[in-house]
Amino acid sequence: MAAKKSPALPRWSLAVPIIAIAVLAAVWGRTPAVWLVFTIIATLIAAVVAAVHHAEVVAHRVGEPFGSLVLAVAVTIIEVSLVVSLMLSGGTSASTVARDTVFAAVMIVCTGVIGLCLLVGGLRHHVIAFRVEGTSPVLATLAALVTLTLVLPTYTTSTPGPTFSRSQLVFTGLVSLTLYGVFVFVQTVRHRDYFLPADVGNEAAHAPPATTRVALFSMGLLLICLVAVVGLAKALSPSIEAAVIAAEAPAGVVGIAIALLVLLPESWAAVRAAAANRVQTSINLALGSALASIGLTIPAVAAVSVLWDLPLALGLPAKEVILLALTSIVATLTLGGGRATVLQGAVHLALFAVFLFLAIVP
């Protein structure tokens, strides 16, 4: 029997990245008018769809869990660049931007993305299965990193306020980077089988994988799409900020809105995987994204803070600490059994709604 021919990339997936970058170049540094805001939103959505398509091409070529890791790390690196640029341009007024961004990313992923994946998967397939040996260690790592970077600074006594001293900041950055490095080694080398879909038979239903050349081309287009997504999200930030001010909502809502836009590619990819009964892939995407958000962002902002002598407030207020602790407990109970239904999805989405509501009405 002749081998199936590798599918070619559709034309729209080639055109969208170019159009998105062109729109980004046209609006960068400008305050967009109302009609331009809708153009940016439409372009951003198209870039998200194209990014997910190219991520799936790469993922199918390299296999799981490498595919999930590629998308999570790519999005996080660009997100880190955005946070660092805001820190350098904002000076002392941007001391909490890293904390707010990381906290929002963790809450969005662990409540909103996971909740939506479990709900969609549960509605379509009733009971969904995933590997406990792949979720429990990641949750333990995530809990350790979140506590070390976002909770502990509030209770240290070397410096006043929710901050670390320089030595504590360097130590925390090294520990965060080390733990993330160990996670990547375990996920991709030592215990890769822990992160493979529980029903490996699903892979047989996929189309033939792309050639190496096509996969590399898709990787480049994926990075272009992600740059466009983050850039367009930043271009929308003045309009979002104006809307927040008009609604008399807290300033932190702007960071949450931007984080939601930046996380769109991973969220879409995770929900699509859950709908196809590949929940393990969804969880790999979600938890991997949360880990990357801390494990890569904190060392980067720590280095910037030390080198440029910028203030960096990492400790969360009491309300956010309680939400984080509740989310950690619920996620551990949900993902610690290897099976879930729509109920667990509903609980996570309820926490997500609480997170958003209390951000608007603190």
Residue 296: CB partners within 8 Å, gap ≥ 6? Answer: 73, 76, 77, 80, 177, 180
The band of 1, judged by pLDDT with boundaries at 50, 70 and 90, is very low
Mean of pLDDT values over 63-79: 75
Please report, rounded to a whole number, the percentage of residues in the chain having pLDDT higher than 90.
38
Across the range 276-293, mean pLDDT stands at 89
Residue spans of alpha helices (H) in 276-311: 279-308
| Higher pLDDT among residues 183 and 64, named by residue | 183
Structure tokens of 343? Answer: 């109920």
Average pLDDT over residues 308-313: 89
The pLDDT assigned to 31 comes to 73
Residue 340: per-residue pLDDT: 93
Q: Is the pLDDT of residue 319 over 50?
A: yes
Alpha helices in the chain (DSSP H): 11-27, 34-62, 66-90, 97-107, 114-125, 132-146, 166-185, 212-246, 252-262, 264-275, 279-308, 318-335, 342-360
231's tokens: 């850039």
What band does 92 get if pLDDT is binned at 50, 70 and 90?
Answer: low
pLDDT band at 79 (very low <50, low <70, confident <90, very high): confident
Q: What is the mean pLDDT of residues 158-179?
A: 93
Residue count of the chain, please give it: 362
Tokens coding 312: 């960096």
All residues at 6 or more sequence positions from 125 whose CB lies less than 8 Å from its CB, including other chains: 277
* Per-residue tokens: 70: 């590629």
Task: Read off the pLDDT of residues 13-59 as tens digits, 9 standing for 90 and up.
Answer: 899 999 999 998 988 877 777 778 888 888 988 887 888 788 778 87
Write the pLDDT tens digit of every residue in 218-243: 889 988 988 888 788 778 777 777 77
Average pLDDT value for residue range 318-329: 95
- Say yes or no to pLDDT of 117 above 70: yes
39, 89, 110, 293 from 48: Cα distances, Å: 14, 27, 20, 19
% residues pLDDT > 70 (the chain): 93
What rounded mean pLDDT belongs to the chain?
A: 85
Q: Rounded mean pLDDT of 90-113?
A: 86
What pLDDT is recorded for position 266?
81
DSSP, residue by residue, 209-273:
PPPHHHHHHHHHHHHHHHHHHHHHHHHHHHHHHHHHHHTT--THHHHHHHHHHHTHHHHHHHHHH
| Domains by residue range for the chain, with CATH | 11-360 (1.20.1420.30)
Place of tokens 């820190």: 87
Neighbours of 199 (CB within 10 A): 13
Q: Which tokens go with 307?
A: 């080198």
pLDDT confidence band for 349 (50 / 70 / 90): very high
